[in-house]
Every structure is written in structure tokens, then in C-alpha cells.
Chain A
């Protein structure tokens, strides 16, 4: 769960111990089969074109929302401007739960929960990035980690009254009427998506310095309280 920090520590330990486990990549052939569930929207390989989703050639190392002429969601364009780069880590997080990383992405996909399946898929996609040899074998999530928020955290019952007080901090920037020019709207946000997104900021998986800072000092209970308040906001 607290993935990045936890897994990089794990990585450092395993590397120094000369253990090859953490650098183990998925099986690209199995990944090709897993890609079947993406094919409805994405193409990859020679002659791949942008369809419902952008083509995935050269995805590793590309900035989010960067294909000229492709009509991205506002959320994805913002993530790119906020310097979200597609790496083994960020792709793994995105494929696991797209909305945790990019709240209102148009990618309507529930995500792949199985870390092995994700690493297989990413191993397959790496074949179509310009120079896979430049992609470090030892990226922290190469062997798959769990980006999901701990179910125990998701199960915390928030205190909506406290959430209302905490939400006052949000409305300094986010417009209460749902306007979203420059800063995204935060109304009508499903409770679980909200919690997952806040934890992604807190763990600095999602880019954006203000949100990382704001979420960074919220306790698990405070995030739950905010979620409990926001779920009822029209």
C-alpha cells in the first residue's frame, strides 16, 4: 500500500543484497495476451494510430497527454502539465487504478489488480518504446507492487462535520460552484475515488506540489472525513 516509499526501501535492500528479484520484469508474451483488454481503444506496434485512446508506441518516458492532436481529458492534460511522465512506476499505478492517478481521465477502465498481470502488460508495452535498453531494469515497481490503498484505510468512517471544516481549506482554490478553469472541480466526487486520489497525492504518486503538500499533512482519518463530507456535495 504505501507503495513508493515502502517499495523503494525494499528495492534498496534487495539491490544491495544482490538479489535479482526486484529487477525481474514481467513476461512480455503473457503481456501480449493481457493487452487484449486494451485493444478496444489502444493500438501499439508498427502503424499504430490514435483511436479512442492514444497509440502506445514510445509510451515509456513520454509526458502524459503529450500526443499532438489527440483530444485528452482536461484531467490528463493537467497531469501532463504537472509533469507526470509515464514510467514503469506511473504506468503501473495508472493501469492498476486509472482514477487514482488522473481523476477524470476518459480512460474508462476498472484497472488491473493483479501485479503480475500488470508487469506482464508493461513488459509487452516496453517492446514498443524507442529504446527499451534505456529503461532501467530495476525500477521499483518492475516486479509489481500494490498501489491500492489499504482496505483498512478505505474502511475508516469519516466524521462529516470535521470534513466540512477541513473542506474550508479546499475552497480557497477550488470553486464551490463546480467551475474548473485552471483548477479542477471537486464536487460530485465518489467517496472511494476521493480517498484513493488523496492518498496518491500524499504518497507523491500524483504530481502537483500544492496538492502533495495539502494531502501530505492529512491523516488517514482526516482524508476519510473529507470524503464523507464531499460525497454529499452537489
Chain B
């Protein structure tokens, strides 16, 4: 597509806008955007709309926690490569950038009145609502486990206190003990995440508890970057990791948090630490807003608007969009497309074609980083993959080190992009 045509389309849209003003704020001052969830999707969307609209749009971000711990790099914290403070971010800079940050839970959406209700009481009105609530867990997904068991058997798949708990349990493991992981079925947040975690746990154990074992019960037959991880486990942690895939009963799992045991395909094993990562679904507010179909919220690829409601957009993990993996990078990428579309709808600014990208870096051991990535475009049906790459097995140590250093650069880049 060529630029001249795009310019024409842009000015054509602007002309149409002048003739028939767009949504605009009905009966109140500035147009209002409410964003629920202050992670990679929500914080980015709020920041970009506030920054680019230069005060033309009122932006409210509803996020319960005062400090946000990124799920990405939380495995590096488990491995001892990061401190917990390194992955914590506050919202002060976003607030200073013009975003009205409300620390509360969104507990309901009235789509007719266009309001979001808050746990602390009161409602916030919107013209456009952006939901970026991340994930919640499917109830009953792992037999024997529910949220009341998350202290005995942490998921650590929402970063923060859960990450700290899992790390404390890892450190307290007896010599020669057993660390078990129950891996999630597709689709779930951060496809390489469980396997990077296995690597980081192995890294910690190799140095501190070298006779310990790791068992992974996995309902999947294969997983993201599998060849790279398995090569790395064999090279760095020989004999430590026992991955039990679906072919060997890895999906037939129950746990007993009181007895600290895991039963895989009928065989019960006593374990010292058990990291249960259950099946996932969209953060609950998406369901409460009535925009989910099954576990996730279907969206239109061009602007991330919910199929169920053109004035609600859903970003990141919670969205069912097509080919993009559920990752922080994806959510950040989707947020920018959404921000551009929302601004265009509310104030008539130019709307450009959607372009999406993702890259997921994983650390296997010290200076042994790998990555996988792809670009995507919007089609009528979905977000569709255009092109991609993945690290190769047998890469040089220099390249792996550069990849790890690159991931650190990316972390600094994306967190600055999210929080300002």
C-alpha cells in the first residue's frame, strides 16, 4: 500500500469527520477513556492516549495494585538474576503524564449506561472502555487445587507476592528434594514461561541443591521453544529435569496440597515444592462486562474492539485475537494499535493500519538467552502471522550472550514504554 493512498484515506476520513462529527462525548465535556488493568496492555494504552491526545481525552486507569510486578522477568527473579524490586513499577510517572490513576478493583460494567463500577463504591463513566485485565484461573482445572491452596502450592503466574513465596519455598527445599511443576494447557499467558521457569529453578538448584530433581507434568505434547529448552537442560542441567508430556500421562494430574503430593498418571509422588499453573481464562472483569465467549474475549483485529461491543476494547492475554501469543510484548503492541484507533474515533485523528509484533526472550542459564518472534497483520477474521524467526539450537556462546543482553535492553525499553 502506498503512502499517497494512505494520506488520501486519512484526509478523506478527516473530511467525513467534519461533515458528521464522530462519537465525541455525548452531553459531557472531553471524551472519556477508561482503562481497566495497568499491565503491558492497559498501562501502554493509557499512556499513549494521554500523551498523544495532549489533554483532549480524559484517561482513567483502574488498577488495584500500587506497585505492578511484571510477569516477564519474574522467572529471572526466581533464578537469582533479578531482585524483586527490579521488576516492580509504580504509576507515579503515568499520573504525572496526565493519566488519572485509580487504585481500585473494577467489579462491573454497565454497557448501556457506559459506566464501570468500583469495589470501593462509585462508578466511572466512559465513551470508550479498554479492558486489559490479564488472566484468571479456570476453576477446577487441576484436581485438588484451588486458590485457597495457592500458599501451599503457588502458581506464581501473577508476579509479586506469589513469586516471592515460590522463591522462598525453593530456597527452603531440603537437599536432594523434589520440585514439581504442573504446566498449563494452551492457550495461556507467556508460552515459553513455564519452561524458562524450569530453567531458572534448575539454575538455582544446580548451585544450591545439586542433587535435587525437577518433575514437570504437562498436558501438552509439545511446547514453545522445546528444542532450545531441551538442548539447554541437557547441556546445563543433565539429569535434573524430568518432563512428562501428554504422551506419558502428563495431563492426568491431581495434587494434594495437605500431603504435598502430586499424582501423575496414577503414580503418587511426595514433593517439596509444587508450582501449579492451572488453565487460564480472561481476567474476570471481561466476563462481567459480557464480552467473553468461553474463556476469552473475541476481538476485531483492526482495532482490538470486542466483537460483542464496539465501545469496549480488549487487550493482551484476555483477548482472543488469532495468531499472537499471550505475552507482555503482544499486549504492548496491541495497545498502540488500539490507542491509535480509539483516539481516531473520539477526536478524529488519523487512524493508521494495524501492525503487530511480538518477541519472547527466555533465559536458559547464565548468558544463554534464546528468542522467538513474529510480525502480524489484521485480517477480517483475526490477527494473522506474517513472518517469524526462532533462535537455532547450537548457536555460539557469543550470540546467546548477546541475546540475553538484548532481553535486558528490551525490558528497559518496554517498561519505559508502559510506565513512562
Do they bind each other?
Answer: yes
A residues at B contact (CB < 8 Å): 63, 78, 80-83, 156, 158-159, 161-162, 165-166, 168-169, 171-177, 179-183, 209-210, 212-214, 216-217, 219, 221-222, 224-225
CB-defined contacts of B352 to chain A, threshold 8 Å: 162, 165-166
Kindly report which residue of chain B lies nearest to residue A65, judged by CB atoms. Answer: B398
CB-defined contacts of A216 to chain B, threshold 8 Å: 375, 387
Interchain CB contact under 8 A, A219 and B357: no
Q: Chain B 392-420 against A: per-residue CB contact (8 Å), 1 yes, 0 no?
A: 00001011011001111110111011000
B199 touches A (CB below 8 Å): no
Q: A169-B333, A175-B409 are in contact. List 5 more A-B contacts (CB 8 A).
A: A83-B399, A165-B336, A173-B413, A182-B405, A217-B375
CB-defined contacts of A158 to chain B, threshold 8 Å: 3
Task: Give Cα distance in the complex from A165 to B354, angstroms.
Answer: 10
Kindly report which residue of chain A lies nearest to residue B48, judged by CB atoms. Answer: A168
A222 CB → nearest B CB, Å: 7
Kindly report which residue of chain A lies nearest to residue B2, judged by CB atoms. Answer: A221
Task: Give Cα distance in the complex from A161 to B6, angstroms.
Answer: 12
B386 touches A (CB below 8 Å): yes
Kindly report which residue of chain B lies nearest to residue A177, judged by CB atoms. Answer: B416
Task: Give Cα distance in the complex from A124 to B398, angstroms.
Answer: 30
Interchain CB contact under 8 A, B401 and A183: no
Q: Assign chain B's interface to a size class.
A: 35 or more
Kindly report which residue of chain B lies nearest to residue A209, judged by CB atoms. Answer: B389
B371 touches A (CB below 8 Å): yes
Interchain CB contact under 8 A, A213 and B373: yes
Q: A81-B401, A182-B409, A183-B409 are in contact. Are A213 and B388 (CB under 8 A)?
A: yes
CB-defined contacts of A177 to chain B, threshold 8 Å: 416
CB-defined contacts of B374 to chain A, threshold 8 Å: 213
Kindly report which residue of chain A lies nearest to residue B405, judged by CB atoms. Answer: A182
CB-defined contacts of A165 to chain B, threshold 8 Å: 336, 340, 350, 352
CB-defined contacts of B355 to chain A, threshold 8 Å: 166, 169, 217
B residues at A contact (CB < 8 Å): 1-3, 6-7, 48, 329, 332-333, 336, 340, 350, 352, 355, 357, 359, 371, 373-375, 386-389, 396, 398-399, 401-402, 405-410, 412-414, 416-417
Q: A83-B396, A172-B357 are in contact. Are A161 and B373 (CB under 8 A)?
A: no
Could you say which of A158, A210, A216 has the most chain B C-beta atoms within 10 Å of its C-beta? A210
Interchain CB contact under 8 A, B6 and A172: no
Interchain CB contact under 8 A, B412 and A172: no
CB-defined contacts of B333 to chain A, threshold 8 Å: 169, 172
A229 CB → nearest B CB, Å: 12
Kindly report which residue of chain B lies nearest to residue A81, judged by CB atoms. Answer: B402
| Cβ-neighbour of A222 out of B3, B359, B371, B396 (below 8 A) | B3
Interchain CB contact under 8 A, A173 and B48: no
Could you say which of A63, A173, A225 has the most chain B C-beta atoms within 10 Å of its C-beta? A173
Interchain CB contact under 8 A, A173 and B410: yes
CB-defined contacts of A168 to chain B, threshold 8 Å: 48, 336, 340
Task: Give Cα distance in the complex from A124 to B336, angstroms.
Answer: 51
Task: Give Cα distance in the complex from A232 to B405, angstroms.
Answer: 28
Interchain CB contact under 8 A, A181 and B412: yes
Task: Give Cα distance in the complex from A179 to B396, angstroms.
Answer: 26
Task: Give Cα distance in the complex from A176 to B51, angstroms.
Answer: 14
A172 CB → nearest B CB, Å: 5
B385 CB → nearest A CB, Å: 11
